[in-house]
Structure 1
């Protein structure tokens, strides 16, 4: 029979596990939620696995594969379904072959013999096979959000001749601005991890190695020559708003622009979908000689 002290310890662990799950749940989407979401929709993304001897990569795509590809890379935690609002958009479906991918360590995507993949370079390398799905004669537009932004940048640096433009939304790219929270250290506890979903443990592993990984990435910023846009919210509690200043300092390309949304939070692809759409569809994103755009609420902001 458990002693009071043991019972209290177990109770504390269960409460911490429940609290951690609650903290992360807003950034994850369950299979049940996906089924419910698409139950009555006419257009449903096609889910498929890209596999080889070492890799299993899950993607969902919508739109004709002969259209220019829009590749979407999620953060941590997250999944390919975090971009459902972009995949569901009828206008984007008509103009793009939209491909959203589960990064390795999330969903059904795995590297054999690797529990967690914290290396940004390895994460990026695992996404290279997606480019083989581009059946159009156009180059690929790559969009990465949060922790997916530096992975998108690394990926683009490896295949710049195949990329039309890079978009980083709410990026976590400054190695000196990695944010930790009250629950971060508890999420690293091996025993507590037994009670948490695998994606949360993967996200925790990434967080504790992220600063070092971002330092390795510094040389690639100066080598980027594809048109690049960085979009940052002023009320972002996950990605420090000064990440945009890091981008301005280190990205040397003359074809880069920076959009600061003073009142936006972290989930800009949801809160400012109309803005994202308009830039993608009307090619407003990369105007010659544009180096910085500051967008305040009600002052030139596109969309809602």
Structure 2
């Protein structure tokens, strides 16, 4: 019975992946980008760059003399998870906006995911170095531990962090047993590439968070946490973990009790409020 239940769950996950992949490619064509931003004051620019011995991609919008913000998506995801922010009139009036495709996603799909948080942070380094001033990092879900690791490794380039529904506490990571068949059996090749990338980076996340845990004290910048009480994908108590780990810096929590995990789409105003507080 247990074996049948496991097969049913894996089969359901595969079916979901197939359905979702029909409408989620993680990529926007130039035509789609131009259409989406046609009424915006600023048109986005694509950038391809080298990091970790591979070619990666990000989008840039706005006045480069203003305070830079880099949006880092979750898993799976891509830069366009934040496309509405990149044409927000308030943000464009005050900030220089960038959004990255992390390794294994969007236009950075080639060669698959990076399963170590240190490599994820290193993939951001060329973008950080290109800015004329320290940057604000906004990370959603898996992007949360990525930007925390970047602040640990490269504090000189970072002004502040906005961690949105970030999965950072290793003790709160859910069981990942169902991910093993999706990595080590022929099922792996039956799911879309961005789901493979997601599975590959999430499978070792608990171990990676344990590696990161002793180093939170190296974060020197202010941190804003945006978290919902109804998040069923990332335990809401992750917000408390961040507060405990960072007694030496200013941590501001923006909490909405009835909010779920999908904050960039359901409550973008709270992320913008987090950015405002991160700028103070």
- Quickly name the TM-score band, shorter chain normalised: 0.7 to 0.9
Q: CA deviation at 1:202?
A: 1.0
1:103 and 2:141 equivalent? no
TM-score, normalised with respect to structure 1: 0.79
Aligned to 1:226: 221
SS at 1:70 equivalent = strand
Q: Which residue of 1 aligns with 2:4?
A: none
Tell me the SS of whatever aligns to 2:84. helix
The corresponding residue for 2:129 is: 132
Q: Does 1:268 align with 2:237?
A: no
Instruction: List runs of 5+ in structure 1 lacking aligned partners.
Output: 1-11, 288-304
Greater helix fraction, Structure 1 or Structure 2: 2
**Counterpart position of 1:157:** 152
- 2:81 counterpart residue number: 82
Q: Given the two structures, how large is their TM-score scaled by the length of structure 2?
A: 0.85
Question: CA offsets, 1:173-218, max 9 Å, x none?
Answer: 0112112479645533531221211111111111210000000000
* 1:21 lines up with 2:14 in the alignment: no
CA pair 254-123 structure 1, distance change in 2 beyond 3 A: closer
Unpaired runs of 5+ in structure 2? 1-8
In our comparison, the structure showing a higher alpha carbon Rg is 1
When residues 265 and 173 of structure 1 are mapped into structure 2, their CA distance, relative to the original with a 3 A threshold, is same
Quick check: 1:166–1:226 contact (8 Å CA) kept in 2?
Answer: yes
Aligned-residue CA RMSD in angstroms?
2.8
- In structure 2, the CA distance between the partners of 1:14 and 1:168, relative to structure 1 (3 Å rule), is closer
Partners of 1:17 and 1:95 in 2: CA distance:
43
CA displacement at 1:23 relative to structure 2: 6.0
SS in 1 for 2:252: strand
